[in-house]
Amino acid sequence: MANVVVVGSQWGDEGKGKIVDWLSEQADIVVRFQGGHNAGHTLVIDGITYKLSLLPSGVLRPGKLALIGNGVVLDPQALIEEIERIEKQGVSVTPDNLRVAENVALILPLHQELDVAREKASGKGAIGTTGRGIGPAYEDKVGRRAIRLMDLNDLDALGPKIDRLLAHHNALRRGMGLPEIEARVIHHQLAAIAPYVLPFMDTVWSLLDDKRREGKRILFEGAQGALLDIDHGTYPYVTSSNTVAAQAATGSGLGPNAINYVLGICKAYTTRVGAGPFPTELHDAIGQRIGERGREFGTVTGRPRRCGWFDAVLVRQTVRTSGINGLALTKLDILDGFDEIKVCTGYLLDGKKLDYLPASERAQAEVEPVYETIDGWKDATAGARSWADLPAQAIKYVRRVEELVGCPVALLSTSPEREDTILMQNPFEA
């Protein structure tokens, strides 16, 4: 049985939620393997909109097992609030359909406070984080002072771990003019939330290995996008985890040989939330039109997304860094009605042409896009469910994207609705 990894191949917000939900019908297990509740996946099912941040999209389908892997940083309070929210929409979430890795690192209120304080202190140099404590939590994980989910199972042994954590954080807080935190406050917070999250705890790596050996189909769900990867993204304007496909193995506890297919999600244009380089960004009426038609506002933050033409250079680069086998192209319908559409095929930097985005922060900010102009189409693609339903010029656009990024389009999404999807290659059967 094939196991599939879904990753964003731009700066996130590519429509992974819908694609994962669409694919999860064929999967037995859906796994989140990195990020935290800074992710935002919007799904529209039978006219009902669901917004998920921590929960894998598989929880919306009966009979599927959703797993949160060790590569995630988990805000336990946010998890319980999200569960309560979607249960009000009629979705049942219990230990029967959700498990959380015992070794997942926790996000605490002090992480969020530090995140917000740092952003404010950075002024114009702010990264543009969601202020949810993701970065500070990953720092503590790497610094070997994190509180992990399993630690809540032994509250009497928490004292030394909290002391080690606060030795670091209180020094930071003093330097930033924030009041110090007493250990008893942290202990009380953890003791209060423990009964609600511990029932979901499991040894996820072992569970996954057992299911794989049983022949179950596993779908790995990425958050953010490959261009926000801590190593391969537009550093320092990135997230604090690896978002490329290889993290699916590390962040779940399965070896890389368990991955059979990598599906990259990308919009038919480009968007970005927050600060950082964006070579094809449009500051004109066209960019505004794309944003309004695409309803480009962050699921988590509500911030308007920056919009621009499709950047084939960036997607071609992420195809290589994530080992992408096929693309799911989303929001093609947003380009309906344009007289002409531009695609970035390369960059100019100091008079030299580049076919990749350089790693230098200065160079990333100064590259100029080289465009190819393609005729648009007047007929609607919205709601199309077969290749034959698409205007001829829209098909030409898709084929040109495939040529430029060096990867076939496996799925084509033409609206937020689950069924408005055209399948060219089934990742589970490729």
User: Do 168 and 145 meet the contact criterion of CB atoms below 8 Å apart?
Assistant: yes
The catalytic residue among 13, 21, 140, 202 is 13
Whose CA is closest to 241, among 7, 401, 1, 415? 7
- Total count of residues recorded for the chain: 430
Q: Which two tokens stand for residue 123?
A: 């002024």
Instruction: Identify whether 236 is preceded by a cis peptide bond (ω within 30 of 0).
Output: yes
**What is the rounded distance in angstroms from the CA atom of residue 338 to the CA atom of residue 188?**
57
Q: How far apart, in whole angstroms, are the C-alpha atoms of residue 173 and residue 180? A: 6
What is the 8-class DSSP label of residue 177? T
Q: Is 280 exposed, middle or buried (0-12, 13-18, 19+ CB in 10 A)?
A: buried
Cβ 343 vs Cβ 312: under 8 Å: yes
User: Which of the residues 21, 37, 41, 111 is marked catalytic?
Assistant: 41
How far apart are alpha carbons 422 and 413 in whole angstroms? 6
> Of 259, 255, 232, nearest to 243 (Cα)?
232
CA distances, 172 to each of 24, 168, 181 (Å) = 43, 7, 11
187 labelled catalytic: no
41: helix, strand or coil: strand
CA 250 from centre of chain: 16
Nearest residue to 377 (alpha-carbon basis) of 361, 398, 362, 408: 398
Whether the CB-CB separation of 243 and 222 falls below 8 Å is answered with yes
Name the residues annotated as catalytic: 13, 41
